[in-house]
Amino acid sequence: MNDVLEIGHRQICHWFAGLLVREINQTQFDAYLSGAADPLFEQLQTLCDVSAERVSFSGTLLEVKGEATPQLRSLAADFAALFLLDGPTSALPYASLYIGENGTMFGAPHQDMIARLADAGLSQALEANEPADHIAFMLDYLGRLLEADPSGQVAGNFVNDSFAPWIDSFEARVIAAKTEFQFYPVIVRVLCRYLRALKR
């Protein structure tokens, strides 16, 4: 595992998790405009090529800044349409929905994450009313694995077992969705490149 990235894996996973569990607020948005995400993209670049996505990320921020709708309303609507509302163009962030021909909520990935979080003493990390296989919980757990095992072997196995079977389908749903801005599709493309780089 790359020595530079070992410093930032936990932060990177936490960043992705935060973006996919709730819409960003004005303070976060202003920070991104000021370059707060630059160090994360620089660390990611040492593991996988995200140069095009970094340009897209910056460009999308400027597009959102220039919109007439106040308080990031359109970006919040994109978040809701993708990750909160169950519809033909949504991409709900639960692993169980993408496993098998007729994926349903609270499937095997949910049960697996319940056990993993309990074994790690992290059961209280689950937010109310969210299944354990929400991608944010899985990313937080991945970050902890990467921090605990610098070799990346355990984390790589987790990516292979728990992300690889469904993350491509999730990415495809996000990219195919009709969103006002490309903010979330860009984030998901970067995330998937990162996860593929971690596979063992």
Task: Check whether 2 has a pLDDT greater than 60.
Answer: no
pLDDT tens-digit readout, 32-78: 999 999 999 999 999 999 999 999 999 999 999 988 776 689 999 99
Per DSSP, the residues of 98-133 read GSSTT--TT-HHHHHHHHHHHHTT-GGGSPTT--TT
pTM: 0.92
- The mean of the pLDDT values for the chain is 90
pLDDT at 127: 58
List, in order, residues 6 or more apart from 63 with CB less than 8 Å away.
Answer: 181
3-198 is a CATH 1.10.3480 domain:
yes
Confidence bin at 1 (pLDDT 50/70/90) = very low
pLDDT at 4: 39
pLDDT at 122: 82
pLDDT tens-digit readout, 118-175: 898 887 666 557 899 999 999 999 999 999 998 899 999 999 999 999 999 999 999 9
pLDDT at 200: 67
